[in-house]
Amino acid sequence: MMGKQAMLGCAALLIAGIAAAPAVVADTPLPGRGIQLQKTDSGELRIQRLVVETPAQWQQWLASPALADSPFSRLDPQRRQAFSRSLEFRNGALADYSHRVLLQSFAAADAYQVLGIFGLEHELAFLPGVRVESAADRRALAAAAAALEARQSPFAQIAPQPAMARGDARPGQRWQPD
């Protein structure tokens, strides 16, 4: 009898907690993506992604107050322009940028913040030549590695093997070049 009461009490507590939690209207952002929470007229929380995904958004970001809070604001005008010119956007995302300008200009913690503007802070984990000068830089690298791991598929943990080595090849089957 005591077990039933405890179980009912836990269930009631769980239901009360769920009912008291604010409703979230929108997709949950990908790990590491910048977000902004806004209350709607009905009192619900709305998640708005704050990631630069187009050249027009980049120009808007450069003209916004967010620039002043970013390490990007400390760059001299020549490096700002060099980095801006290197940006290539495709399909609603940043597809390429100058790693050289980024890594010459910033240590890991600042580079992490700059990449976060585009939702790509996880890339810091595999960029060669990242400068680590402080504990903040080490934390940024650890956060980038955690974000990169969170993006991985559970199937990515299995070491890939060529189909021929597994014996999956069938006569007459064509294999696409890697």
At 61-109, the pLDDT tens digits run 999 888 888 899 999 999 999 999 999 999 888 999 999 999 999 999 9
Decide: 101 and 79 in contact? Cβ < 8 Å: yes
Strands 35-39 and 88-90: unpaired
For residue 11, is pLDDT > 80? no
The pLDDT-based confidence of 2 (bands split at 50, 70, 90) is low
Of the chain, the percentage scoring pLDDT greater than 70 comes to: 60
Residue 47 pLDDT exceeds 60: no
Residue 11, token pair as written in the block: 């269930």
Residue type, 31: P
What CA dihedral angle connects 84, 122, 54 and 35, to 10 degrees? Answer: -120
pLDDT recorded at residue 92: 85
Contact 33, 51 (CB under 8 A): yes
Domain boundaries, the chain: 22-50, 55-153
* Residue that has been written with the tokens 């080490």 in this structure: 138
Q: 82 or 1: whose pLDDT is higher?
A: 82
